[in-house]
Amino acid sequence: MTSDEQGRKPTHWISRSDRPPPCFSPHVSPPTPHCEPLVWTVPERFAPAGRVLAWTCPCGDTVYELRQASGLRFIRRTRRNGRVEDSRRWAAVVGTAQWNALLMGHLR
Ligand SMILES: [Zn+2]
């Protein structure tokens, strides 16, 4: 770890380098029996990436982000291997509902 990295991390992490970082963000619940599949596609090259509104904990193999671009919301998932895929885009209120359903294991 460089001194620059140390400067940006909370001080209590520095002496605990043998531990994984604490989980500050929500985890996605395991799929429920009625879990619905989302359609995931590779982001279109010129589609706006938008801004990130919420994200899941990066301790697992997949990180999900709720994003907003041009007034529409979508979910982006990034695999540890670098593969990035987006959901379709929804009106903001629908996108937030989809995000909550994802976190609760009703969508995947
Ligand atoms: Zn975590």
pLDDT means per 10 residues, the chain with 108 residues, are 49 54 89 96 91 94 96 96 96 98 97
65: left (phi over 0), alpha (psi -120 to 50) or beta: beta
CA of 18 to the centre of ligand 1 (A): 16
Task: Establish if 83 belongs to a structural domain.
Answer: yes
CA 1 to ligand 1 center in whole angstroms:
21
Q: What is the DSSP letter of 16?
A: T
Please give the pLDDT value at position 44.
Answer: 87
Q: Is 106 within the bounds of a domain?
A: yes
User: Measured in angstroms, how far is the CA atom of residue 34 from the centroid of ligand 1?
Assistant: 24
Is residue 55 in a domain? yes
Does 27 fall in a domain?
Answer: no
Domain count, the chain: 1
Tokens 């904990």 correspond to: 57
Compute the distance from residue 66 Cα to the ligand 1 centre, in Å. Answer: 17
Domain assignment of residue 21, yes or no: no
The per-residue pLDDT for 45 is 87
Surface-to-core class of residue 67, CB atoms within 10 Å of its CB (0-12 exposed, 13-18 middle, 19+ buried):
buried
Q: Is residue 39 part of a domain?
A: yes
Q: What is the pLDDT of residue 3?
A: 46
Give the global pTM.
Answer: 0.79
Domain that holds residue 82: 32-108
